[in-house]
């Protein structure tokens, strides 16, 4: 079977899809479809980058992480060390296929921010519009987290000179 799926054949293809989902989310910060798709695209880019660019290129692995990487798991650990919210993106991505949280989940609660979106007493009132998650009592903006992940991937592609 050929690599990729549907019209997406390279990591760059998935990066561009992630960018389009983020443009949708920027235009409507409450677009749950775009937010969930962006979580999946942003997280799974690590798989596509590993298999499409790094798996058989030890020099690129060393250039990125300072040493060879055994497998995709090690690459994802490196990503998480550089982008600490990567595991939280995974949790949101994984949550898209499970109705109930797993024992390992750290997200305590999610909600839409904005005075016209929240229930009384829920969340923080001065948060930017969009989706929020509560982790260890902290309210974190999912939209901003995803924007930062897109910047992380863009910077990695640029630093490596990947088209």
Closest CA to 45 of 141, 142, 152, 160: 152
Split into its structural domains, the chain has a count of: 1
- Nearest residue to 96 (alpha-carbon basis) of 161, 44, 26: 44
E strands present in the chain: 107-113, 130-135, 138-141
Assess whether pLDDT exceeds 70 at residue 121.
no
Residue 68 has pLDDT above 50, yes or no: yes
Domain-embedded: residue 16: yes
3 assigned to some structural domain: no
In a domain, 6, yes or no: no
pTM of the model: 0.87
Specify if 20 maps to a domain. yes
90: left (phi over 0), alpha (psi -120 to 50) or beta: alpha
Q: For the segment 13-67, what is each residue's pLDDT rounded down to a tens digit?
A: 999 999 999 999 999 999 999 999 999 999 999 999 999 999 999 999 999 999 9
With a cut of 50, say whether residue 74 has pLDDT above it.
yes
Is there a domain that residue 134 lies in? yes
What is the per-residue burial (b if ≥16 Cβ within 10 Å, else e) of 17-39? bbeebbeebeeebebeebbbbbb
**Which whole-number Å values give the CA distances from 91 to 7, 48, 107, 127, 162, in the listed order?**
26, 18, 8, 22, 28
In a domain, 24, yes or no: yes
Q: Which domain holds residue 115?
A: 11-160
For residue 4, being part of any structural domain is answered with no
Asked whether the CA dihedral 96, 101, 105, 111 is positive or negative, the reply is: positive
26 belongs to a structural domain: yes
User: Is the pLDDT confidence value at 11 over 50?
Assistant: yes
**Which whole number is the average pLDDT over 87-116?**
70
For position 9, what pLDDT does the model report?
79
pLDDT band at residue 127 under the 50/70/90 scheme: low
């Amino acid at each position: 079977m050929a690599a990729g799926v549907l019209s997406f054949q390279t990591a760059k293809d998935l990066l561009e899809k992630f960018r389009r989902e983020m443009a949708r989310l920027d235009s409507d910060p409450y677009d749950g479809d775009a937010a969930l798709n962006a979580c999946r695209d942003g997280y799974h880019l690590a798989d596509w980058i590993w298999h499409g660019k790094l798996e058989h290129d030890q020099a690129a692995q060393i250039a990125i992480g300072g040493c060879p990487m055994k497998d995709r798991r090690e690459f994802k650990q490196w990503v998480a060390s550089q982008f600490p919210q990567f595991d939280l993106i995974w949790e949101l991505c994984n949550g898209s296929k499970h109705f109930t949280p797993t024992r390992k989940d750290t997200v305590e609660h999610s909600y839409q921010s904005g005075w016209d979106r929240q229930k009384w007493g829920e969340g923080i009132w001065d948060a930017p519009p969009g989706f929020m998650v509560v982790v260890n009592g902290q309210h974190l903006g999912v939209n901003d987290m995803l924007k930062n992940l897109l910047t992380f991937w863009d910077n990695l592609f640029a630093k490596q000179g990947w088209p």
